[in-house]
Amino acid sequence: MSDQNLQDQNKSNQNMNAQPETASDQLAPDGTTFDNLVVTKSVRIGVPNAETSEPRNGLYVVAPGGFPNNVPILAQSVSTFFGARDSDGIDRFAINLDKDGNSYPVNFYDRYDGTWRRSISLKLGNVGIGTNNPQSMLHIGEGLGSGYRSWMVRGTQVSGGTDNVFFGLKREGDDDRQDAVIAWGDNTKDVFRFMFVGSGGPADGQEIMRLQANGNVGIGTNNPEAKLHLNSTRGSIKLLQTSGVGDDFSYDGNNGSLFGFTHYGKDTGETRFAWNNGTSKRDLLTIKNKGNVGIGTNNPQSMLHIGNGLGSGYRSWMVRGTQVSGETDNVFFGLKREGDNDRQDAVIAWGDNTEDAFRFIFVGNGGPADGQEIMRLQANDNVGDVRVTGDVYARNQILSSSRELKENIAELSGSEAVEALKNLNPVKFNFKADSDKNRHLGFIAEDVPELVATSDRKTLSPMDIVAVLTQALKEQQNTISALAEKVKLLEAKSA
């Protein structure tokens, strides 16, 4: 509707406020026509019902209602068909049928400041505000970019220029599948933003979140570089599990398995990191809320505990350190508290039975030394053995020799010693493993006499040889002394 149309329409209605030109209170006879009819009293048209027998308003129209002939008031127009003025006689409100191409939407106008403005339009069951061509049930604003789709009917749409945003239902096949959607944008620079508009202060106008056309979501950033990009000084994500046990957070590597973590309870609880392929689940790392960390075990007993199982070699003091366990065996490296804070000994502890050895193995990059055992500590029923495959360097060598450690003590006879000495055959040799082929002197364990041999016939005790030499030397000294005595007697006789 043009403003001119409204002016013309209003001119034809000026007589509403004009002085009467003909007799008032005169009821026109049937068939009488008037150029102007002015009535100063209320007029009743139609047949009132009993309750409304007297007209209370200037024009009181009673009819059953309904097209074509029973509509109480019927207007036919291609422009304003209803108007209203204020008490000063100024045009303020109009309802129009404005031809819009091939159709006539119903348009509501106001003229608050002297300019007619269209506000509400009704067309095809849709309501338009700021548009006389509403495409959704509620459509606000002019313009409609290429982001508009024909399914954007059942909902609210706001458009401006080439852009629009729609909130409503999207029908997907049948009445029972109408998805709730928010849709926006006609090109990739259009962003969907959530903004806080407070009453002043730094948060006023602050953007909380944005969704971008590339699928990225940003919180605290206006340039999200990932599907979810959080930018915060602290506390970006908080997960709250109100009840039950499940994967609190999981990561799908798109290869048939998930990595995730689960957090349990309070002081005695734990956090587990696990791998899960849908049929089996494997705990990778467990962090107890009290502080212990487990790898390959979800029940870590030390500050760092690696592996499942824990044999009877475990002791309750094995807390402050690292422990590796497998089935019934374990090894611990850490501190053993001995009474007070200033006496916590560094210890290595292992084994639940005497066949468990502590071994030092060299793992080189190939060659004969690769995998070579250097030393082992081995438990036996009493103390323990140390076996070294190489040389032992020490400032001094002191051997345990106390009577307290010995039994079946008997004197080594001179004849035993001499007999053994007779069968001790010193040799020169070098060790096969010695690439420098350094020459040594010694004996062959397999060849020594029974008296000094060890049970495995692979080793010798130097002290055994020393004892044989000592006793044989004493025997020899006795012989020399006896001979010297004889020589002395013979010299006396011959003198």
Q: Which residues bind Ca ion (CB under 5 A)?
A: 163, 186-187, 190, 329, 352-353, 356
Q: Minimal distance in Å, beta carbon 146 to Ca ion?
A: 9
Buried b (16+ CB within 10 A) or exposed e, 218-253: bbbbeebeeeebeeeeeeeeeeeeeeeeebeeeeee
Please enumerate in sequence order all residues whose Cβ is within 8 A of that of 313, keeping only pairs 6 or more positions apart, or say none.
328, 329, 330, 349, 350, 351, 352, 356
CA distance 490 to 495: 9
Q: Minimal distance in Å, beta carbon 311 to Ca ion?
A: 6
Asked whether the beta carbons of 420 and 468 are under 8 A apart, the reply is yes
Question: Would you tell me the crossing angle of helices 462-494 and 414-422 to the nearest 10 degrees?
Answer: 110
Q: How do beta strands 321-326 and 372-379 pair?
A: unpaired
Question: What tokens were used for 455?
Answer: 């049970």
Q: Minimal distance in Å, beta carbon 377 to Ca ion?
A: 14
Taking CA atoms, 66 is separated from 62, 70, 95, in Å, by 12, 5, 20
Nearer to Ca ion, 122 or 158 (CB): 158
The number of beta carbons lying within 10 Å of the beta carbon of residue 286 is: 23
Nearer to Ca ion, 98 or 329 (CB): 329
Q: Minimal distance in Å, beta carbon 353 to Ca ion?
A: 5
Nearer to Ca ion, 186 or 416 (CB): 186
Q: Minimal distance in Å, beta carbon 8 to Ca ion?
A: 41
The number of beta carbons lying within 10 Å of the beta carbon of residue 131 is: 22
Nearer to Ca ion, 352 or 475 (CB): 352
Q: Minimal distance in Å, beta carbon 355 to Ca ion?
A: 6
Q: Minimal distance in Å, beta carbon 137 to Ca ion?
A: 23
Nearer to Ca ion, 161 or 462 (CB): 161
Asked whether the beta carbons of 313 and 352 are under 8 A apart, the reply is yes
What DSSP line would sit under 5-33, residue for residue?
Answer: HHHHHHHHTGGGGSPP-S-TTPPPPTT--
Nearer to Ca ion, 37 or 211 (CB): 211
Nearer to Ca ion, 9 or 212 (CB): 212
